[in-house]
Structure formats: structure tokens, C-alpha cells
Chains A and B, each alone.
Chain A
Amino acid sequence: MFPSPRDLFPIFHCPLCPPDAVLAAPTTLRCGHTVCAVHVRATHCPIPGCSTQQQSSTHNTIAFFPAPPNTQSHPPDITHRALDVRVNSIIHILHAANTHDCPFPDPFGNSDGDSDADDPPSRHTTPQRHNADPTSPPDPHDFEKTLSTELTCEICFMLLYQPVTTPCQHTFCSKCLQRSLDHSMLCPLCRQEFPGFAYFQEHPHNKVILSLLLEAFPDAYSARGDAMEREVRDARLDTSIFICQLSFPGMPTLLHFFEPRYRLMLRRCLEKPCPTFGMIMPPRAAPIPGHGPNAGSEFGTMLEIRSVQMLADGRSMVETRGTHRFRLLEQDSLDGYLIGRVEKIDDYDDDLAEWAAQDDDRAPSSSNTTHVDIRPSPQISLTRITPRVSPPSSPASTTGTPQHLLSIPTLLEICHTFLDQLRAGTAPWVVQRLNYTYGPQPPDTDPGAFSFWMGMVLPIDEHEKAKLLPVKSARLRLRMVVGWIEQLNSNWWFTSGCTVV
């Protein structure tokens, strides 16, 4: 049975007034407590025991810069003593519904005028007291409906979920307000400027409204939470995709999130126990004939979030590290960003050298930059362990470039020689990239990681480097890298041979 107004009144008792006194001109503070405006004098919550200091974050991966505020840095909401529009309207509704069975002294006096001034137009449905016709009994169903309308978020049009109240005393679902902040620092209802993004970090819920939701609409409220959880859990396309730049497994990448859609994506990622997202490169500006406009961006790298530094205006610097590669099987968009279903790409064991050697003649040749085999293609032979039907005895394989026959140690040797050459002073800027950008050089005992690292440090086109993503053999990737090294060497030879003015 729906609770009667009388059952709900205790929620609206002022914690500082004598017992059973209903809030008069309620103001909700940042800590989520609501008190009569007259109690608010200092810059902190007047309720004894209320810690208005920011509680430490539950996500130890997120740091805020500047540090999250306490009330001292944001006094305007206190000194302003604005009226909590929603709490005030609800008290009116309770009184109106209660008038018949229990005449209640009006604790507001003539405060009605103030409350209406701040009401958004949609909430002028607040019923007037039934004084005109005291004989008609109040309809409990009407009461429930009016109350539920009053508890509707003006952004999502649904029952408030985790309500938070702004300094201008307007209440929204926490998630709705966050999204609105991504786009604008003005209140969606009154356009008053908000104190800053950090104010709303870990913003405590409006305790009075939350209590009312749980008391009056417990089922609808928990259904709302369940639905949000289910949406995440049952999503077939469960991987958020950030279209930004190339990254490889093991590589650190520092990212700057500023677009509203990606701020939302980041927040959603951070709600998960292990925050990760996928990153792919934007498609080439000019598509390659014969390949769709998205050619090359169907492969990417999953990034795990190491730390987040959120700036006061809501932008974030995100430190990530590549964990594994993936192939994008299916994609859609969610609130402006890409989501997808992905398949993990793992290396096969290079010790199975036999068949790998068989594949040599048709393996990707990195020196041929437009070679189709390097491109993501479903029939890429390297992904299969099935023996080949025809032996690789074409004459081309015997006259192919020597690197076809090279073993991992030899390939590594070529890479090291190239690195030494760089370090010797030919191109100090590359050495800087090695030292600062891509983390420590992986050891030779991990040729898989080394191939990515080596590929990443080469000064060549990123889309070319991205061809390493689908290749499942460390040896083949090293061969591609060595191919690029040979190209670079020949280019340098060429440019140093002819002085171009």
C-alpha cells in the first residue's frame, strides 16, 4: 500500500529544529543534508557529526586536480540560502494531501510566494490545497501520481535515481547531471553558473529525497537501478571504443579526454572493477581503393586505465597501458561514441617453426607497403594451424629477400644494430622517443613485446605500423619491422647521397 502523507512527514523533519518540526524554507547543502535555511550560518554543515570534508575516493585510480573541494572553497551555496525547490514542492504536496485527515499548522507562513518563483514551468502542477472543498476526500492515487511527477528528473524524464542537488537547489539524477556538465557549466533549469566541475565529484546524494524515493517508490527505484545494471551487463556490444591513435600491447599511452561523449565513456569505464577500453586509429583520410573506408581500423588495442587526473573543468588526463590486441567484430554507437564486440588476438607459438617456415613465402612482406597480406583479411593464413596443401616450392621463395629466412635472434640483432646506430647520434630525436614515450625496451626474451616496441619507435607512418596489429607471430612482426628498417636505411642512404637544396 502506498504510504500516507502522514507516514512520509518524518522524512521532512528538520534535524536541527525541535522534534517533529517540518523543514521551513529547506536548503540542501553539498553534503546532501537538508536543513531550514535559518540554521545555515557558517561555511560548514550545521548538523553535528556531518563531515563536510570530501571523503576519500573509492577509485584509487582517479586523482583530481585540483583536489576535490570542501565546503570552504565553495561557500556560495551556503551563503546563498536558496530554497531547495523540489523538497519544498514535495512538502507542499504532503500538506495538501494531508489537509483533510489531519489539519496541520502551516510551518511556512507566507513562504509560498518564494517557492513558486523558482519552480520550473513543468512543475506548476503542484496541487493547491483542497480548502475550497473540504468535504471531498483526497484520492490516494492522485497523491501517488503527483508525488511521482514531482520526483521525475527533468533530464531523463524518469524517476530520480541517486538524486543530487546543485548549489542553485535543483535536483537531478547524479548521472544526468554529470552528462549535462560534460556539455555545459550552467544549470539545465535556471542557467545559473555552477561553481566548477570538481564540486560535483563524489557529490553526496540528497538524503531527504533519496529517503522519500526509497520509502514511497521502493520497487520503481530499485527497478531503475537494476535496469541500468542490466543494460551494462547484458550489452552484446560490451566494449567501449575510443577512436584516437595507435597503441600496442605493453605500451603506455597518455590520453587527453575532453570531448563530452568521451568523458561519458570514461566515467562508464571507471564504474567497472577493472576499467578498460579499446582504442583504434581513425580511418585513413583517403581510403585505399579496394578496401572500405574503415580499412585498417578494425584492429585495435585494449587499454587498461592506470590513473586518471581530472581537471577542474572536467577534462581528464588518462594514463593507460595496452593489454592485448583485438579485432572489432561488430559495432554500434552509444550516446555518441563507438561500442563494439571484440575478439582477442593472441600470438601463436613461434616455436612451431615448421609450419611458420612453410608460410614464409606468402607471409606479409613489410617491404612491400601495399601488399595485401598485411592488411586485415579474413583468410590471413597466419591465423591457421592447418597444414598447407601445396608445398611452398615456388621459385620466388628461393630468390626472395634474405629476411624471409631469418630467425628471431637474427631479426633482433638487426633491430639492435639499428637502435645502436640511432643512439650513436644520427638521430637523437628518435632516442628521446625511445626513452620517454614508449617505456623501457622489452628484453630479447620477449620478442613479441619487443616487436611492438620496436615498431612503435620507428619514424614511419602510423597506419603502416598498424599492420602489426593483426599479425599473430612475433617473428613475422619482427620481419615486418626489419623490412621498415631496411627501407629507412635505404632512404637515409639516398638522402645523404644527394644533397637537396
Chain B
Amino acid sequence: MALPKRIIKETERLVADPAPGITAAPHEDNLRYFDVTIQGPDGSPFQNGVFHLELFLPEEYPMSPPKVRFLTKIYHPNIDKLGRICLDILKDKWSPALQIRTVLLSIQALLSAPNPDDPLATDVAKHYKENEKDAQRVSREWTEKYASQ
């Protein structure tokens, strides 16, 4: 079916005026499927890393949230080993006034502020709660190993 105007506008803006540290480009053969990169925020264990994600706009977008997943391995209490992200705006706190840009900015913010009290990867969360320093060390190692360009 035809792509809704809103998706076209969002795509244009993402390309013309990208958010700092974030890129998103649609696939040529499927304009609802985006290749995304997010730079690890400065000051976080993910600094200097470039993380690849996939983002898909379902049929009912923007009434339903986009589906987003990390493709790059990441050691983070709210992201599991399949790359799934625990973030409220991707689930029940979604609003049609949010958009691709705001979603990606929220994910970037999640890298700066892990929330081990609402974990998806329980082992990582446990590590973060019991020994944050050591957990951050592992996060840095993983970033260097999997997310360096």
C-alpha cells in the first residue's frame, strides 16, 4: 500500500536534519524498514561505540510504536542478547505524537542512563546492581569488541 505522508515527511527530515550521533536511512525496497546507527553517548561506557539497530514501522504506525532492535551486541541491563529493548515508549507509553527521531533519542538516552531496576537482561542488571564499576568495565569491553568502527 502507499506510504503514509507522515512517514515520507519523517524520513525526509531524518535525512535532511539528523539528530546528533544518530543516523537512520530507509531500505530502498522497503521504506518502512530503517538501518539505524547510534553513537554511544560521551561519558557512558558505550562512548566511542557505534551501534547498529534495525527499526521497522508497522502497518498501523504511528498508532502503533515502531519496532526497534539492536543488531550490535551490547552489555546493557535493559537490552537483552537478542537486541530487544526495554523502553516504555516502545510499548505501553507509546503516543502517536512521538516519532522515529524521538524514539532514537530516547534509546540514546537509555545508553547514558541504564535502569537496572527494570531489567530485560537480568544477569546484566544483577551485575550492574552488585558491582556497577565492574559491569561498566564489561560494557566498555563489549563496546570496544563489537561496536568499534
Within 8 A of A (CB), among B95-118: 95-97
Residue B23, interface by CB 8 Å: no
Contact with B along A315-352 (1 / 0, CB 8 A): 00000000000000000111110000000000000000
| Bound form: Cα–Cα A72–B113 in Å | 46
Contact with B along A427-452 (1 / 0, CB 8 A): 00000000000000000000000000
User: Are B60 and A191 in contact, with the CB atoms below 8 A?
Assistant: no
Instruction: Determine which of B6, B59, B93 lies in contact with A157 in the assembled complex, contact meaning CB atoms within 8 Å.
Output: B6
In the complex, which residues of chain B have a beta carbon less than 8 angstroms from the beta carbon of A120? Answer: 97
User: Are A176 and B96 in contact, with the CB atoms below 8 A?
Assistant: yes
Residue of B nearest to A186 (CB): B95
In the complex, which residues of chain A have a beta carbon less than 8 angstroms from the beta carbon of B59? Answer: 333, 335-336
In the complex, which residues of chain A have a beta carbon less than 8 angstroms from the beta carbon of B6? Answer: 155-158
In the complex, which residues of chain B have a beta carbon less than 8 angstroms from the beta carbon of A180? Answer: 63, 96
In the complex, which residues of chain B have a beta carbon less than 8 angstroms from the beta carbon of A188? Answer: 95-97
B20 to chain A, nearest CB (A): 16
B60 to chain A, nearest CB (A): 5
Residue B27, interface by CB 8 Å: no
| Bound form: Cα–Cα A188–B5 in Å | 19
Contact with B along A72-102 (1 / 0, CB 8 A): 0000000000000000000000000000000
A179 to chain B, nearest CB (A): 6
Residue A50, interface by CB 8 Å: no
* Chain B interfacial positions (CB closer than 8 Å to A): 1, 4-6, 9-10, 59-60, 62-64, 93, 95-97
Interface size class of A (residues with CB under 8 A): 20 to 34
User: Are B96 and A155 in contact, with the CB atoms below 8 A?
Assistant: yes
Assuming A157-B5, A184-B95, what are 11 further A-B pairs, CB within 8 angstroms? A154-B96, A155-B6, A155-B62, A156-B6, A157-B9, A179-B96, A182-B63, A188-B95, A260-B60, A332-B1, A335-B63
* Chain A interfacial positions (CB closer than 8 Å to B): 120, 154-158, 176, 179-180, 182-184, 186, 188-189, 191, 260-261, 332-336
In the complex, which residues of chain A have a beta carbon less than 8 angstroms from the beta carbon of B10? Answer: 157
Assuming the contacts A260-B60, A261-B60, asked whether A191 and B95 have C-beta atoms less than 8 A apart, the reply is yes
Most buried by B among A189, A333, A334, A335: A335
| Bound form: Cα–Cα A334–B60 in Å | 9
| Bound form: Cα–Cα A155–B5 in Å | 11
Q: What are 13 contact pairs spanning A and B, CB under 8 A?
A: A154-B96, A154-B97, A155-B6, A156-B4, A157-B10, A158-B6, A179-B63, A183-B63, A188-B96, A188-B97, A191-B95, A260-B63, A336-B60
User: Are B1 and A334 in contact, with the CB atoms below 8 A?
Assistant: yes
| Bound form: Cα–Cα A157–B5 in Å | 8
A228 to chain B, nearest CB (A): 11
In the complex, which residues of chain A have a beta carbon less than 8 angstroms from the beta carbon of B97? Answer: 120, 154-155, 188-189
In the complex, which residues of chain A have a beta carbon less than 8 angstroms from the beta carbon of B4? Answer: 156
User: Are B1 and A158 in contact, with the CB atoms below 8 A?
Assistant: no
Residue of B nearest to A237 (CB): B1
